[in-house]
Amino acid sequence: MQLLKEKVLEEGIVLSEQVLKVDAFLNHQVDPSLMSAIGKEFVSRFSGETITKVLTIESSGIAPALMTAAHLNVPLIYARKQKSLTLKEDIYVKKVYSFTKQVASDLTVAKKFITPDDRVLIIDDFLAHGEAALGLAHIIRQADAELAGIGIVIEKAFQNGGKRLKDAGFRVESLVRIASLENQRVQFAEDYIEREKINYATSV
C-alpha cells in the first residue's frame, strides 16, 4: 500500500532495531483519511469472506479497526487490557505477553459480544511476535466463533509473528511488511528482496 509506505518513511521514527514509532499518524495523533484508506484496503483484501464483527485490542488497534468495521458496516469490538482479574464469569480472558512493553496483561472481551454464529476479522496496528493476534484468536475460539482472517497494518517481517500465525493456519494480510530497521532506516520487504537481487546480479 503505497500511501502507507510513504507515511512510514516520512513520519515513522526508528526507535531501535526492533521498534518503529508511528505516533504521528496511527498510535497517538491519527490521520483519519489514511485510516479510511486502510479500512477500504482490508475490506478489499477480505472481500471473499463473510465477516460479522471486527476485533482488535485497545488502544492502538482501534483506529484502523474502526474504519474497517465502518466500511464493512459491522460492529467493532476492542479487547480490553487489564491487570490480572478475579471475576471472570461474563468475560473471555486470555493472558498475553508484550515483548515491546515487557509486560503481561489479560485481554478481556464480554461474552455477550461474540457468539458462535460470528465470523470475526482481527485487525491490529503491528505484528511483531504474534502474541496479541494469537491471544485474540484464542478468545474467538473460546466463543466457538470462526476466525475469518487477520489484517495487520505494519508487519515487522524480521520478527516471528507472521510465521507463527501462518503455522497456526490463519490467513494474514499485512498492508506493509518491514524487512529491517537496521541503521535507523526502514527497509520494506519487497524493496529489500529487489536490492538483494541487484546486489547479487552485480556481484556475479
Nearest residue to 18 (alpha-carbon basis) of 158, 174, 160 = 158
The x, y and z cell numbers of residue 147, run together, are 476466525
| Distance between CA atoms of residues 137 and 12, nearest Å | 28
Please list every residue from 1 through 60 that binds ligand 5GP, using CB under 6 A.
19-22, 27, 57, 60
Question: Binding to ligand 5GP by residue 155, rule CB under 6 A?
Answer: no
Q: Identify which of residues 39 and 130 has a Cβ nearer to ligand 5GP in the complex.
A: 130
Instruction: Assess 127 for contact with ligand 5GP (CB under 6 A).
Output: yes
- CA triple 106-107-109, angle to 5 deg: 130
For residues 148 and 157, which CB has a smaller minimum distance to ligand 5GP in the complex?
157
d(CA 39, CA 42): 5
Quick check: helix, strand or coil at residue 38? helix
Residue 142 as a binder of ligand 5GP (CB under 6 A): the answer is no
Q: Does 63 bind ligand 5GP (CB under 6 A)?
A: no
Binding site for ligand 5GP (CB under 6 A): 19-22, 27, 57, 60-61, 98-100, 124-132, 161
